[in-house]
């Protein structure tokens, strides 16, 4: 006996409502997973950028310190070059004054500057001309003055004049000038 007019169908647990509900949940879970993945990626990227910025900040700090050291070095070099320029200007003036000191009748062939003295080689018509015109000014400048004369075939005399400043006086002058330079560097005017 048949109780139904249709052929029985297999029943599935996946009904249309269940399929719609499952699709909704799968889509929601997919969106949540994608959002979570996006947030994890952004957090990781943010951490990397933060680490890069910290490293750059450290590198900039090191570079700033290097630049400060270079600035100090350049300032020292500028002071040194200025000091050398000043010393050269003083030396140039001293040499010009030395050559102004030489009278027209005396001819120099060589002049040697020493740390604490001066050696002059030249030709003079006579010892008297040398003594009155050159040796007197040299004695006013130097503490010790020695002169040697050698006759020339033409009647003139070749001379070698060796002039020294005493060591103690020279060292005192150097230490005084160094103390003055240190005071100027420190900004002391006294």
Both 111 and 97 in a single domain? no
> How far is residue 161's CA from residue 149's CA, in Å, rounded to a whole number?
9
Both 114 and 172 in a single domain? yes
Both 118 and 72 in a single domain? no
Average pLDDT score over residue span 180-190: 58
Per the structure, the count of domains in the chain is: 2
Both 111 and 50 in a single domain? no
Residue 52 lies in a domain: yes
Q: In this predicted structure, what is the pLDDT of residue 183?
A: 63
* From 41-55, 127-141, 142-156, 162-176, the region with the lowest mean pLDDT: 162-176
Residue 112 C-beta-side C-alpha neighbours within 13 Å: 8
Domain that holds residue 41: 24-101
Residue 134 lies in a domain: yes
pLDDT of 172 over the 70 cut? no
Q: In this predicted structure, what is the pLDDT of residue 6?
A: 79
Q: In this predicted structure, what is the pLDDT of residue 177?
A: 60
Pick from 85, 132, 141: which is nearest to 113 by CA? Answer: 141
Confidence label for 182 from pLDDT (cuts 50, 70 and 90): low
Model-level pTM greater than 0.85?
Answer: no
Confidence label for 189 from pLDDT (cuts 50, 70 and 90): very low
| DSSP assignment letter at 102 | S
Both 116 and 181 in a single domain? yes
Q: In this predicted structure, what is the pLDDT of residue 98?
A: 75
Q: In this predicted structure, what is the pLDDT of residue 126?
A: 87
């Amino acid at each position: 006996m048949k109780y139904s007019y249709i052929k029985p169908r297999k029943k599935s647990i996946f009904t249309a409502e269940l399929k719609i509900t499952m699709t909704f949940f799968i889509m929601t879970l997919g969106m949540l997973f994608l959002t979570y993945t996006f947030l994890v990626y952004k957090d990781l990227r943010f951490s990397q950028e933060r680490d890069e910025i910290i490293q750059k900040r450290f590198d900039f700090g090191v570079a700033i310190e290097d630049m400060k050291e270079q600035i100090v070095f350049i300032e020292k070099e500028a002071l040194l070059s200025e000091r050398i320029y000043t010393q050269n200007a003083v030396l140039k003036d001293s040499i010009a004054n030395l050559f102004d000191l030489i009278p027209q009748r005396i001819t120099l062939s060589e002049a040697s500057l020493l740390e604490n003295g001066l050696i002059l080689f030249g030709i003079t018509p006579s010892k008297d001309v040398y003594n009155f015109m050159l040796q007197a000014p040299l004695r006013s400048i130097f503490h010790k003055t020695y002169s040697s004369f050698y006759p020339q075939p033409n009647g003139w005399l070749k001379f070698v004049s060796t002039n020294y400043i005493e060591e103690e006086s020279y060292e005192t002058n150097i230490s005084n000038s160094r103390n003055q330079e240190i005071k100027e560097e420190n900004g002391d005017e006294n």
